[in-house]
Structure 1
């Protein structure tokens, strides 16, 4: 019934792609599907691809493998999806080859997966033009089960580990130094899991591929969590394949509806600017008039310039060397002293108590209160018998209120 629904979709929509295989018992062993919108999204945003096989889907224990990426709104989008009977090398090989066939043989620049051993051996064989990286979120998610309960509850340990692992500003030697201190301080030098991760450090630590754009798929934990929560809405073990397909279609339509709303908002709204410089205003006007190919060409040229700068940059050991490199790149030295000019129109904000510059309104209120006090004191001098009475004065008249009588 499930395969029949997919075949029926193919009959009504020529651009819908479906391919499935059966085993020797004529049972479904694998199926992959994608439509025209998914393929178009892959052509536009498929430089970084995420293949996640950590989802259990239904009562038949088939593995759900979604192929996802990040669109121009920095939101996750689906390029295609499939089901396989198990996590064997044969199933992964068939799934990845079918995906590439559906996408016209176009390989991603980077593919990100979990630590599955079978997948790790298949990716280099199928995605020969792609760089393989491991998902940091899946690795750090295993921390709870790999360390003791007491160590996992240690906030200082988790803070130091996250700062070491997730900091993309560190150089490789700085990362290795911090990692070694953490392993020594918490007696984890002989820990097998951490030792294995250290061997694989070049595949998941940002310090080793700072020059590679990952589209946030690997480094941003919140994006991986949102992606998992999106699929968890329709991945429950009691669903049949038909029920799974209906839930998948509903979730996919909701995702595309959200993307359409964001596209409409961007089209009819002005891009917020970070500065008021004429250069940024002029650049935003040019980009708004360009088509997708022009913008893509601009991004590629900027990426080439960035890679050229990074390739010519030497590996620096300390902050002094970094400061010297900045000075050489800018073309001038950092001044030892800074000359601060006194502003012509000083602001009130930031002054200490008692030294704050009074505003014109505050001066007027104080002057008005002083005039009232002078008038009340004058009434007390002229009419001593009314010293104990309350007085109220306004700008144009004076009214003295007595406890039982009125004075005009």
Structure 2
């Protein structure tokens, strides 16, 4: 750590030892992690349940999602806008006292995973109950009062009004139900499957259960390198491939030039749905004036999408933009690249080839023998 600091001033680390000198705590953060936090640190997940080393020391990463929807790792002292943890009451006190400007929310994945343990056996295989509870809890489109009405209806219907766990979860609803976070930008991020759980599974691919500290740090660096290589590959693919359009609307073309492929595919589905609705209305208008008249109330909402040439600036935000645009939004230095242009077959082939090479590198980078073998193969091919 000291040598890293000497060669890179923006690298930081701190550690503590007890009275007999054994290491108690170690905290570190590199420059790339700081940039990640600057761009995507509005929502982070913090989990302290991952422990795989011979000293039984807990590894507790701060984890977020990048503009490709993938988890990234960072450890730093800056305050996020929102932090997600499990239901540990100690964490609740710490967040309130230390991260005073940060909103705290509990991980929905952890909470909902406990439902099967808390309901009577008669409800375990009841798909209707599961559907009713999920539609009540997971929706970010309903207001808090509507959630409370739906929750009470579910509790009464399935006779859970006096179940202690459900009572306590309702009392703590403002810490985990999306309806109470509707005012928070990108709130959809915080109701997905646990970011920390996903990240823990990822680290297990690179770590050994009885590793010492040096081995763990080497494995950690390999894991982070693999993530960053994957992100670099996705950035390259975004910059050098052209998405296939599914409508004739200019707004779809504009979306493809500014959003990452991950985000664009989600947006494209919504545009296609609106496009198909407009087509149906047009057919109805030609064949049945009365039917058209009955549905004319839909036209303003749909026609505004059709007439819209560009995505309105107030709907773009910064998280889901292509990486150069995200960096520009957050004032991070970057090289200018075109956000839209024709890509010929040769460029597409180049992008695919580079992507395959990056994946190969990522696959063998944790094993020196495999790296030597791949190097020999590449030299022979060249």
Q: Secondary structure at the match of 2:60?
A: strand
Give, in angstroms, the shift of residue 46 of structure 1: 1.0
Q: Going by fraction, where is helix more abundant, 1 or 2? A: 2
Residue matched to 2:105: 133
Q: Does 1:261 align with 2:233?
A: yes
- Retained in 2: the 8 A contact 1:216–1:223? no
1:235-384 equivalent positions in 2, closer than 5 A:
237-271=209-243, 273=245, 275-281=247-253, 287=258, 340-342=285-287
Residue matched to 2:192: 220
Residue matched to 1:146: 118
Q: Pick the aligned partner of 1:175 from 147, 150, 153.
A: 147
Residue matched to 1:187: 159
TM-score (norm 2): 0.62
Q: Secondary structure at the match of 1:108?
A: coil
Distance (whole Å) between structure 2 residues aligned to residue 66 and residue 77 of structure 1: 10
Q: Secondary structure at the match of 2:61?
A: strand
Distance (whole Å) between structure 2 residues aligned to residue 339 and residue 260 of structure 1: 48
- Retained in 1: the 8 A contact 2:49–2:58? yes
Change (3 A) 1:61 1:148: farther
Q: Pick the aligned partner of 1:75 from 48, 70, 73.
A: 70
Distance (whole Å) between structure 2 residues aligned to residue 222 and residue 22 of structure 1: 32
Q: Going by fraction, where is strand more abundant, 1 or 2? A: 1
Residue matched to 1:10: 5
Distance (whole Å) between structure 2 residues aligned to residue 35 and residue 248 of structure 1: 13
Distance (whole Å) between structure 1 residues aligned to residue 206 and residue 254 of structure 2: 46
Higher RCO (C-alpha 8 Å, min separation 6):
2
Distance (whole Å) between structure 2 residues aligned to residue 27 and residue 150 of structure 1: 52
Distance (whole Å) between structure 2 residues aligned to residue 182 and residue 235 of structure 1: 43
Give, in angstroms, the shift of residue 282 of structure 1: 5.7
> Is 12-21 or 203-212 further displaced after alignment?
12-21
Residue matched to 2:182: 210
Question: Aligned Cα RMSD in Å?
Answer: 2.7
Change (3 A) 1:283 1:207: closer
TM-score (norm 1): 0.59
**Deviation string, structure 1 residues 149-190 (Cα, Å, up to 9, x no partner):** 553343333232222211222222222122112222333222
> Who wins on radius of gyration, i.e. which is larger?
1
Change (3 A) 1:201 1:187: same
Structure 2: give runs of 5+ residues left out of the alignment.
260-282, 289-382
Distance (whole Å) between structure 1 residues aligned to residue 174 and residue 247 of structure 2: 37
Q: Secondary structure at the match of 2:190?
A: coil
- Retained in 2: the 8 A contact 1:50–1:217? no
**Deviation string, structure 1 residues 305-352 (Cα, Å, up to 9, x no partner):** xxxxxxxxxxxxxxxxxxxxxxxxxxxxxxxxx963139xxxxxxxxx
Q: Pick the aligned partner of 1:28 from 14, 23, 44.
A: 23
Distance (whole Å) between structure 2 residues aligned to residue 237 and residue 145 of structure 1: 29
